[in-house]
Amino acid sequence: MNLILLHPQELTDQHVTLTGRRAEHICKILRGTIGDSVRVGMLGGLLGTGCIQDMDGNHIVLQVNLTTEPPAFPPTDLILAVPRPIMLKRVLAQAASMGVSRIFLINANRVEKSFFSSTLIQGSNFTEPLLLGLEQAMDTKLPEISVHPRFRPFVEDLLPELLRDCPIRLLAHPEGDQTIAQAAQGLSAQRAVLAIGPEGGWVDFEVQRFTEQGFAPFSLGPRILRVDTAVPALLAQLSLLRQLT
């Protein structure tokens, strides 16, 4: 936990009282004492410091000073075929750490239908893994998440409007005939969307629907990666390509 995230409703007269996991982290990991400062951020707002004013073991009172803008979102969106719930939690945390603006969770032929019945998706319980990612990256801005259980209406009806401002459209596919660098030519500061399928890959029908929407298939090479490996690996490659252009 590199950042103590605060919620707006917790703040009163520039003071906040922490309990639970955040208070325990300050006591046991940071070994904070009265007068020490810790790094804090307001969810959806500024970064700053919190000075420990009081602590009694279970409660910590911070005086908060928020002064700094969080890092800007990279102009990248992520389309993700829903993996099993335990892996989805890891992927959401990783995506929040790497920085994406929007995450579209979609169905695909090789996605188990039961995944959409999980409490994670049915209850839209995405906040906890996303917060873990923000704490790691020292960010305060949550990506937008939407769930789309029907593949064809999403790709054919919703996607063209959603991605009008995304000129770079990338489709990770084991049978792609180019690298991500070749598929993302002209990336620079332009907005990009990255589509990552199930571990078994997209089926031909899905690849065709994506390519009709201007997506360029590319391959990571001969090795088939787990989704929770592919997501941070590809987001990191996009970040590097932006730095090099």
Q: Where do you find CATH 3.40.1280.10 in the chain? A: 76-244
**Class for the domain spanning 4-68:** mainly beta
- pLDDT, residue 74, reads 86
- pLDDT, residue 223, reads 83
Average pLDDT rounded to a whole number, residues 168-185: 91
Residue-wise pLDDT for 102-137, tens only, equals 999 999 999 999 999 999 999 889 999 999 999 999
- pLDDT, residue 40, reads 97
- pLDDT, residue 66, reads 97
pLDDT category, 165, cuts 50, 70, 90?
A: confident
Average pLDDT rounded to a whole number, residues 148-166: 92
DSSP labels, 120-181:
HHHTT--HHHHHHHHHHHT--PPPEEEEE--HHHIIIIIHHHHTTT--EEEEE-TT-SS-HH
Average pLDDT rounded to a whole number, residues 141-149: 95
Instruction: Classify residue 180 as exposed, middle or buried by CB count within 10 Å of its CB (0-12, 13-18, 19+).
Output: buried
Nearest to 214 by CA among 190, 236, 193: 193
Q: Could you please state the CATH topology (level 3) that the domain comprising 76-244 is classified under.
A: Alpha/beta knot (3.40.1280)
- pLDDT, residue 64, reads 97
Q: Which two tokens stand for residue 154?
A: 């999403």
Q: Which two tokens stand for residue 84?
A: 């099993």
Residue-wise pLDDT for 4-58, tens only, equals 999 999 999 999 999 999 999 999 999 999 999 999 999 999 999 999 999 987 8
Predicted model pTM: 0.93
Q: Where do you find CATH 2.40.240.20 in the chain? A: 4-68
Residue-wise pLDDT for 215-240, tens only, equals 999 998 888 889 999 999 999 999 99
Nearest to 115 by CA among 79, 85, 154: 85
